[in-house]
Amino acid sequence: MRSMIQEAEDRETKHVRTVNDYLQLRRETFGAQATMSFLSFGLGLPEQVISHPVMQMVTLAAMNLLCIINVSFNIVMKKRTDKLTYSIPGHAFLPC
């Protein structure tokens, strides 16, 4: 909930975050952790595997990828409907 409030404040003040800060906030606002938990549900991986540093890095990379895909979809929809807004991805990756 706190991350959603922060995202709303950023929009209101037109604050543009760095890519890393944006991804960290976005992972919390759109449910990347819940998505990753759902995807790993039923695999029966032992805690030793899940908590291994390499697995943690892979999980973080996957969550970042989910965020980027989600934001990319929003950018495409904005171009089509001109109703959605974006901040960091547009500034960092796209010529606007």
pLDDT in tens, 24-65: 888 877 777 777 777 777 788 888 888 899 988 998 888 888
In this predicted structure, the answer to whether residue 87 has a pLDDT above a threshold of 80 is no
pLDDT score recorded for residue 17? 85
Contact 4, 29 (CB under 8 A): yes
Tokens read off for 36: 């990753």
- The continuous run of DSSP H or E covering 81 comes out as helix 53-81
User: What is the pLDDT of the chain when averaged over all its residues?
Assistant: 77
In this predicted structure, the answer to whether residue 82 has a pLDDT above a threshold of 90 is no
Look up the pTM and report it.
Answer: 0.61
- Cα separation of 5 and 65, whole Å? 23
More confident residue, 90 or 82: 82
In this predicted structure, the answer to whether residue 93 has a pLDDT above a threshold of 60 is no
pLDDT score recorded for residue 54? 94
